[in-house]
Chain A
Amino acid sequence: MRITCPICGERDRREFYYKGDALALNRPGPDGGEKAWDDYLHMRDNPAGETRDLWFHEAGCSAWVVVTRNTVTHEILAAELASKVKEAAT
């Protein structure tokens, strides 16, 4: 599996650390309530198919990258900088 880092280009999967579902970007506020925190920490859509997850380009440029990926075929569909995704959402 090779991931296209938006900064470094296509790189081996080994250069990246996997964090998990990209919902990690949507951290609830401290007073978000128990349900929001439970959903954030534990509950997952866990799709068989297209998913968005968060990878850290640890052995490269140190960017956090939101990767759109197919969990059934391992096809990498898109990769964006997490900072840009976060900006666009606010």
Chain B
Amino acid sequence: MGFSGWRVIKEGLTGNRGWKPQWRDAAPKKDYDVLIIGGGGHGLATAYYLAKEHGITNVAVLEKGHLGSGNIGRNTTLVRSNYMMPGNSEFYSHSVKLWEGLSQELNYNVMHSPRGQIVLHHSDAQRDAAVRLGNAMINRGDDAELLTRDDVRRMVPYLDFDSARFPIYGGLLQRRAGTARHDAVAWGYARAADERGVDLVQNCEVTGIDMKNGKVTGVQTTRGVIRAPKIAVVVAGRSSQVAAMAGMRLPIESHVLQAFVTEGLKPCIDHVISFGMGHFYISQSDKGGLVFGGNLDFYASYASRGNLPMKEHVMEAAMTLMPMIGKAKVLRSWGGIMDMTPDGSPIIDRTLIDGLYLNCGWCYGGFKAVPASGYGFAHLLATDQYHETASKFQLDRFRSGRGLMDEEATGSQHNLH
């Protein structure tokens, strides 16, 4: 049943008794055409686009907990496409376009809010880099505007423009960037996939991957054996463990990235603002909390929580950039498990095992990628061809050195991103 303004009024007048669960709690069948391991944002988006774009609906999403219980609910909800490298560039551009129509497409309010992101620069060299990035974004058809110091001051007067250490020289603005409601994205895709016949199987942990003659045949789960000729692993945060079930090692180290939210405040920060010197970024949620984060803790971790030194660093960066934030109280902090690849870019590819497909390595940027990742991965699963917007995320690039997408130009090695 669809959502509409009329429906909300009608339910309001009739005691809200007409709302039903948004998807079936499916029990697994014995056989499917495609199994998707992982019921997070990327897995659910993959299921949706498989059904919608390719008519493949005999699909199950296997989730060990409840839908959307991983990183889709543990991020800072930013949507943007300020990428430059071939491979990333067309992919994130496509993703922002999908975001722009997503609420209508899914008939589910994902609260996409293109409020604009300002990435500040604090030196001439950083301004040059911003000009180059902005031109790259414009050249491929996205939007980017270079802001002078005065422009930035007019838009966000509360920053410390004359900090002795990091004076603000200007900013790069992408107006179409912004935020979205993280959980709603998972729920919207889940509901739309379920409507098209996809089985969303929860509390179903995959414990083994069955193979015969170099080809996958199905999976062992806590709810029995399920067979399928194609298996898609979409479990960023746990990719190495699931890949190990198929005897694979991945070019991934899991790291923790922390995020923070303050108590709810009146609207005060209208954009997404990124500090160019301290790896700090901030936006305000619709509930009023200031949502912000910084860098990785920089050690391998599956703890879903970080340590105090990085918390202190993030708070210092916050105070340096916008002293007014010192009045706000931090409500809570949390950590997400990041699949870090050597070059900082993701993997959407086949594997050497026939029928086993991999979507992982989202580093600290998986949320904005959800629509295009699902779209591209579904295309690969259905056609065995890369989609033109997701053709460069190949697993083999680290071994061969060809097609690395090192957006930060720090080198293709673990612990540099």
Enumerate chain A interface residues (CB-CB to B < 8 A): 1, 12-14, 18-21, 34, 38-39, 41-48, 51, 53, 71-74
Contact = CB atoms under 8 A, between A and B. Distances in A.
A13 B414 CA distance: 19
A51 B300 contact: yes
A11 to B, nearest CB: 12
A20 B307 contact: no
Nearest to B237: A48
Given A18-B415, A51-B300, A71-B301, A46 B240 contact: yes
Contact of B303 (A13, A20, A53, A73): A73
A47 B298 CA distance: 16
12 contacts: A18-B299, A38-B399, A41-B342, A41-B398, A41-B413, A42-B342, A44-B252, A44-B253, A46-B240, A46-B249, A46-B252, A71-B303
A-side interface mostly: mixed
A10 B261 CA distance: 32
Contacts of A21: 253, 300, 414
Interface string B285-327: 0000000000000111111000101000000000000000000
A65 to B, nearest CB: 13
B250 A46 contact: yes
Given A13-B309, A46-B240, A34 B301 contact: no
B363 to A, nearest CB: 14
A31 B299 CA distance: 30
Contact of A74 (B249, B303, B414): B303
A65 B229 CA distance: 46
A19 B300 CA distance: 10
Given A45-B249, A46-B252, A48-B238, A20 B309 contact: no
B: interface residue count bin:
20 to 34
Given A13-B307, A34-B399, A42 B302 contact: no
Interface in B237-266: 238, 240-241, 244, 249-254
Contacts of B413: 41
A74 B256 CA distance: 11
A38 B398 contact: yes
B253 A20 contact: yes
A14 B302 CA distance: 19
Interface of B: 238, 240-241, 244, 249-254, 298-303, 307, 309, 342, 398-399, 413-415
Contacts of B303: 71-74
Given A18-B299, A19-B415, A48-B241, A42 B251 contact: yes
A48 B302 contact: yes
A42 B415 CA distance: 11
Contacts of A51: 300
Given A45-B240, A46-B240, A20 B302 contact: no
Given A42-B342, A71-B302, 17 more contacts: A13-B307, A21-B253, A21-B414, A34-B399, A38-B398, A39-B249, A42-B251, A43-B250, A44-B249, A45-B249, A46-B252, A46-B254, A48-B240, A48-B254, A48-B302, A51-B300, A71-B301
Contacts of A73: 303
Contact of A53 (B250, B300, B302, B342): B300
A43 B307 contact: no
Contacts of B302: 48, 71-72
B415 A20 contact: yes
Contacts of B309: 12-14
A40 B241 CA distance: 19
A39 to B, nearest CB: 8
A42 B414 contact: yes
A20 B252 CA distance: 11
B415 A71 contact: no
A44 B240 contact: yes
Nearest to B300: A71
Given A42-B342, A53-B300, A1 B307 contact: yes
Nearest to B240: A46
Contacts of A46: 240, 249-250, 252-254, 300
B147 to A, nearest CB: 35
B414 A20 contact: yes
A39 B302 CA distance: 22
A28 to B, nearest CB: 14
A51 B301 CA distance: 10
Contacts of A13: 299, 307, 309
A22 B173 CA distance: 42
A21 B298 CA distance: 12
